Every structure is written in structure tokens, then in C-alpha cells.
Structure 1
Amino acid sequence: MCCPCCLCVSTSEVVVVERLGKFDRFLSPGFNLIWCPCEQHAGSVSFRVQQLDVRVETKTKDNVFLTTVVSVQYQVIREKAYQAFYALTNTQQQITAHIYDVMRSQLPTLELDAVFEAKEDLALAVKNALQETMSGYGYQILQALITDIDPDQRVKNAMNEINSAKRLKFAIAEKAEGQKILLVKSAEAEAEAKYLSGVGVAKQRKAIVDGLRTSIVDFSGNIKGATSKDVMDLLLLTQYFDCIRDVGSANHCKTTFVSSSSGGIRDSLLVADAAKLK
């Protein structure tokens, strides 16, 4: 009588039992016994979700070499545990080969910038290719993810410099636009100020003319024999003396008024010579 062999099978696993080298049955999770000496434990099949990370190095359409990391999550189909155990010698090697095939056929058709945008499409292409192939071996592909896209460091530096140059160009344009607005607003303010100053001068001169007109009318009406010319000469002489007074009373002013007539110039020179003799 032979002694039984005890086996404890873990949850989410089955043990493959062979009799004389031929598949006989699966042992379910829990405590199991193998009585026949012709039977042996051939291996186990796990139904847990497994993950495989594959690094693929290839080049893009614009001849930029990069490394991508593809993460595949797969699981054995319970109804196909037999195929999963006997169909493939190395499951991970088979999945890796299909990932290489898909990535190295898809990436060379895309430029570097388009690779980052097409990450989801690449992951979907990998998943569909693996699902079509691995389902016949008893495996289902739950998810395929492109977890990393890593170009050469020099390429990344060049991309950063291009982006920096574009942003600097935009900043310079915005700064120039701001300076343009300041100059335009300053010119508009100066034009408005000159316009208002001109309006003020015009109003001032109009007020002076109106005042002179009133003074002439009043003076002509009150003094008999006074003509308009006499009144104008008197007013101009009064303004002349007022101007001399204002200029002479200023501390910082060193202006000398000389009459425009030849007689006035001669009188000014005589006054200067008399001052020297004193």
C-alpha cells in the first residue's frame, strides 16, 4: 500500500496533476491528496492579475531615438487553464515579442511631438494585438498602458530651448505692445494738453480784447476830444510799464529792454555812458 501525497493549494490557483506524464486533472484550492504513485504534481496555474513592464527602444519618423515603457496587465482565463499551462513555454517572452512588434511598427510612422499625443492610441493598439493573440493561449489582456516616453536628454534640452524661445518671443512682443500703448497714450495726453492750453490762451486773449474794448469805449465817452488811437496808445504804454515792473522785480531775471527805434537806442547808450561817468 502506497502512502498518499498531501498538497495544499492556495486561493486563486489550481495545481496540475499528471499521470504517467499525461494531464489528468486540476486540484482546486485547499487540502488535497494524491494516492496513486503514478500521479505527480506538474505545476500550478495562478488566476491572479499579473503585470509585465517592457522597455522598448526605437526611433520616430523624424529620426529621434526614444525609450518607451509599456505595462501590460494580464490574467489566466479559468475556463482555459489547460491552454494557459501547456500552450506556452514562456508567457512573458511571448507578450514581450508582440509588444516589440507593435511598438516598432507604430512609432516610426509618428514624429516625436505626435508620439506624446498618440499615447492612448499606441496603448490601444498594443492591447488589441495582444488580446487577439493571447486569447488563444488562455490569457486575457486587461489593460495596456504607455507609462513612460523618454527621448534622449539632448533632445529634451533642445525641446525645452525651443519652448523657451517661443515664450521669450511672445514676452518681447507683449512688452513692445505695452510700450506702444504707453507712447500712444502719452502722445494723446500731450495733444490734449496742448489743445486745452491753446483753448486757454485763446480765451485769455479774447478776454483781454474784450477788456480793452470796454476800456476804450468808457475812456472815449468820459473824456472829450480823446480818440480811439489815444486810448490805445495809453493802454499799450500802461501794459509796457507793467511788463518792465514785473521783469525788474524778479530776482532771477537779468533781461534788459531796448527800444526798437533808433532814437531809443541812442538814448539808452547815453544813459549807460552817464552811469559810467558817475
Structure 2
Amino acid sequence: MKIAVVTDSTAYIKEDYRTREDLFIVPVPLIIDDQVYLEDIDIHVDGFYDKLRQAKSFPKTSQPAIGELFELYDRIGSLGYDAVISIHMSSGISGLVHSVASIASEVKSISVYPFDSLLTSGPMGKMVEVAMDMAQQGEATPDMIVSKLTQMREKVEGLIVVDDLNHLVRGGRLKNGAAIIGTLLKIKPILMFKNGDIVLSEKIRSQKKALKRVEDIALNEVASKPDDSTFYVIHCNNLETAEIVKHDLLKKHKELEVIICDFGPVIGTHLGEKSVAIGVAPKG
């Protein structure tokens, strides 16, 4: 059985996987001052935060058009694939995976298997890479791949320290934000993905202390054990801090696999500049 993998542009995927012919990436639209941009096609991390600071109104994100999804799956089917595993950012921050699920049975040229990663960026990219490896081996069925991804999903974690909560609250992505926004003056919250939603986990007095606490949680309190995990230090135009976090993680556990990567424009819109996160995912 020939199986392809589809994901969206919010995933961080290693370059050797990104260039493979069995991977297809759906660009997510971003709207800045009524101008529509497609992530990683006509808007990139470089220059994005300048646009964000200069925007007259709060940017918005959207979903790819249903027609474009149909066209993509039909094109994949025409290339000789029998099935496609479609892995997308959390349903708690986007309706994309629900859109895929709503049309899956209507696609006649190929069998579509939607999968909600329940988070985004590096850990979601690891799920994509594992799915691609299983598909390439040629022995796994789509159901076997989805089962493996479901097992991984139980162990992935996303922990975020934002510089300014206003982006998440205004964009409606922080589920318990309205109740706590007034109490967070001079406090740096630790946020986490819980059942796909971004929620407040802890409140810390400074960014430095918040990041230290996130490092501690990532190393000691998540289901995926350090030796068996890939760690992603993910940032919104804050490479210097990301490098410090990576150094701290390796100082505590020198054998870790730690990758620094960017949040793209779509997630950066919601988190805001200077945010830093640690994502943890089992290696496979």
C-alpha cells in the first residue's frame, strides 16, 4: 500500500523529511490589514514580526478553503497513492482538522485519515516524521500508523512562556484567559496544551524563573522520558533566549536531543513576539 502524509505549515519538520515526495504541506492563511498571506509561501518568519508590529489591526488566521483540500487529496490520489494520513495542528486552536474530517468520506480518489495532533510545531512535526517512516517501510497500514500516532500523542507535551498574553486572549486561543488576565500584571504565566487547548498552568514572577520551571517540567514531569524524547525549543523571534534554554537543558542532561526552531507566522500571531516554548515528543 502506498501511503502519503499531509500536514499544515505550522509543523516544524526536519529538512530531509520536508524534501521527500510523499509529504504534502498545506499552507495556512494569515490576514494582516485585509491582505491574505500563505504561510511559508508569501510570508515567512523573516520580516513577519516587522509586519506584526506595523499592523493597523490585530492579524487573523484562517483555514485553507475546502475546495483546495479536495484538490490536494485528488492530486495525491492521481500520483498513485492509496491512502493519506493528514496530521494537523490542534483542534483547540484551529478548525482545520475538523474540516479535513468533514470531507474525508467525500474524497473518492484516495482514503483520507485525519489526525488531530492536539498541539503544533516541533512535536507535531515529529508525528509527521514517524508517520512517514512507517509509510516508507511499506508494511504498515493506515490504521497501524494512526494507532502509533495516538500512542505518541499521549506522551507529547507543549509548555509555553509568553511575553504578553494579549495576543492569545484577543485571538481567543487561551481558554481560561478571560478570568485571569487582570491578575497577571508583572507575572509571566506558564501555559500548556491540555486536551488540545492552551490553558494557564502556573504563574511565575519573572520570565527567567518561568523558563527554569518549564525546563524542570519538561525534564521531570512529562510522560515521555528524556532519553527517549526529542526536545524542541521553539521561539517567536527570540533566538538568544532559546539558545540559553537549550544550553540549560543540555547542562542538566548532556545526552538530550535538543532542536531549536521558530514558531511560524500563524502561531506567532497568537503567541506574540518573544514567546518561548519547550515541546517534548517521543522519538518513535
**Fold shared per TM-score above 0.5:** no
TM-score (norm 1): 0.18
TM-score, structure 2 length as denominator? 0.18
Structure with greater proportional helix content:
1
